[in-house]
Structure 1
């Protein structure tokens, strides 16, 4: 694909990307200056640059033409220059269309570059003011003000008057086509009719002559503000080897101030921010390395804000001071009197007839004549005690007890903490009063230690509430215990209030002690109550806390969290373990053998059965059953045993083998039915070790295997 559709959304990006690609490809073959010219001095399809000599300009353009033709197949043409020698070096077809047929030596050459008319003969900028009549309404005012294209800010101090009129029009009118009031109409007609004088204005294209020969280059930025507008602009000041200097306008801006809500110091601060933004833009795009960058303001309040390192500001001033100091330092800011500040014209406005002689374009008069602006001066804050933008300095004196509650976290048990404090109190009594006394543990010391702990925690958590309660003042509306109606008892402890004042019961029930659930002491208390209820659930633990006379904020959540972390509770309430089953024996999974080749045997019973009827009634007897289970197919065979004896079991085995066939092995558990140590117990049992049963198994070629004793992981095959 060699072409791209014109007019698509990505078309400008694709065109710019193509130019950047050509620039990078031509660096080695056509020079680094060609790459820089394409990458930095092209805006879409227009290139604008300045060279020191005509030969340098011709050489740069020719090499750029060759690079674009070679790497992009593009034709670079429509050239225009203030030098006739440069334009004569190219074919007429390569010149701009407007001067294609003109005589370069006799005709006045004009060219429009990015919305501004460029007089090639005088090498100056001119402005074309439209004479089209616009309606005297808000729509017409906006159209006229925006029709003046001034990207560099040459006429900002003129256009600001039109913007101020537009602001008043927006305030006084409702509809876009509503006619202007009389007093605004006269102001508007006077200002719009004076714009024709701008057509006679000529602004030199060259910022300062012979910039490359200057020995020192400085960037000066001035800012100012008034109730109407804020303004800032930058100048280049150069010093030549012969001692002379020149100043040239670079970039300026004027903005309309808000109608209300801003003080003059705030507007001056906004002007300082605008100055930093302009200076940053010039520094980044002006291909000159400045020896110094200076800022000038006529507001000592703003200079005090910028130089301040001790006091804090509110958000509005703080954010803007941070923006200013992010690109500049306080040593770059200087004070200039208001009558010498050229930015003052950008806030008051200038009539179009006075633009040519204004300091906005010609630069400051006396700044470069004085050496005081080269000195670094620190500006203090102006009346910081009454300035509403400065945060007040508050000194808060806080008295803390000698025993800090942070020490409580060294204990993991409530009783140990209380007993340690009680021991400390007994030691103090021993040291101060009578060293001959022996003070053993007592309930009074324990209770006093508890109350001391609670009062210490309450004083730390509810200090503001305690001050209000002691001074009989209402609690703050944002207090977390406001709804509990707290009060201080005779011992200085905060308790929960209520409507049970006349209830004849213990005070711990009707007025429990208030304790914050966020403090570590609450964790120790709940841990003790949880142990007292033998690690039962949340309701029992919470009930124990209440029964001990405490009301804890956030108790439910804290109890649930503690129970969740309790090691004992986690062990007792854990999920039951499941034991892994052992591998099946070989005789249970051997394929291809007939059913009942391997058999599991078990005896169950007895049952009472009716055997015969007699004159005295029915005779009952006991019967047992032998359960034979095939270990492979899980088939079941049951034989009745008339008694628990070897002969009866032999008959059952013979009946079983007669029906089911040969049995290779029998498996059973080591129950008392099958082992031989049952005679001393006088138990009716089948003894596999009896000779008749052994002979029967031997003659049939069968083996009887017992499961290992006390092995619950093995399956009792007969009863499974």
Structure 2
């Protein structure tokens, strides 16, 4: 790099560090074409990606970072040329696209990076840059825009950096061959070459700027980013001005010359452009402007072209840089951690690791730094921080919190004085206790209780750390309420405004909201028409279900009987039958007895029980026979529509499920102690006793002083 580095057109130019300068590469044009077609498909699917990609490519071509290969050279393939596929990636925060040239893409087992030397690692150590950055209170940060593109590649090596692209992103034309004129993002050698150019800039200009500026370029850059700290803002401004002068050569030209001294040379008359454009024949080179220069130089100066002049006020595109100066405030490490951590236990663990790192750093720069703040700080390398270290971390955090909220009071107490009467701590007789923390004083120092309970630590009201501690206690006690939180809190801390903070933590706790939230109330659908008929007779539309079993005596044995409940869907009247089994025949018999007493039925609704499904089929057959024989004109054109609720949807039958509950309650209260002595006759008798227990007028205690209608059961015989 030292031998090849030179300044060309205001930029450093460094050769590509080839492992073998005479390397012969295979012709990979087809591979690059295939990758380009894949890129084209992606662009067609994503218009925004296409727009950003085209803008980036046109920008690098427009700024001279890439150039179109002349017609005479575009058939060249293999040997000393290579086609690089490319793709776009977005910055995760800025959402700014960057086109990456895939120098690691292999063809026939070889890639461009395979033939390039990576070069020496000239980047500064990141840890050193960061440590020096924290040395002083005023911070300077900046970056070099498109740093890789600021170092040129010799014209004779640019064919190794070929790529395919459509002019102005127009897919309607065939892609053309371009080549990069600069070191590109993606090549293994680029970081070394560009960092060499950056450090060369500092070395070549060390006589024109301060030593601090030169050292900043050499020691405080990490790739294209600079992080530097100085003692004053004025010093920072001077440093930034010097770094801009290094990065902008136009500034030097403007200071050393005047605008009238400069003239424009068109591309056609510029001999330097012949190296990049190329010439077809040696004779053209000999007879052309390469040896004698443009024609106007052989004329008098008054005849030189003056139509276009260089505008020195335009910012040089060679190396656009931006800098930010920030003066550090009083924000402590605790404040920075609070903004990133919300868990008290995690906060203590992180602070414990900070203390470990601090001790290691102090040990390196001061070998005898084994004691800090009156206690030993020598620590081993634990897998996890020890309990002692976590306690020290907690003390450190609490001291930082107190120093912000009670700075004046702590200074008075450390000086041996009492705090001012206007202080919020005055009435607590504060002391500086264990760990150097301000604590509640009082008269119970001789009490046989824990030291933290006798002298709890003061915590200010508006403290994120205090809220973090309360939140941790709330979690540890199983998300109990305010009183439990305060009970545990006051065993170690005296938090001002604790009542309100505890309420707030409990109120905003996501877990508590999840467990204590009121269940959502489902909006019920409209009742079906058979539930709201006003002019229909009772039991025209019924719901049927079974309940039981009920044990009855038969001789010396006991057998099971089942209750069959028929509920009028409109009047809620109830009819009970006894079924001797759960088979279809028994179900049919119960329905026939019900209709014999209550009259014709239009619809029967039931659960989707297997016995009821079977009964529906046989019941229809039964009705066909009855229609033809016995019922004649009375039941002529009358049939039953049996409606089955969906399987496993027992909530569809709430109208009769509620009646079953009431029936059970009444039945067992009537039977009492005789339940184990019932026979079939007694069971039927008890069922009939229930009929009068279900009325159609509810008693409302709100109108207890007013006469109300008597509750009559809806019953009707078939002959009515």
TM-score w.r.t. length of structure 2? 0.39
Higher relative contact order (CA 8 A, sep 6+): 2
Structure of larger gyration radius: 1
TM-score w.r.t. length of structure 1? 0.39
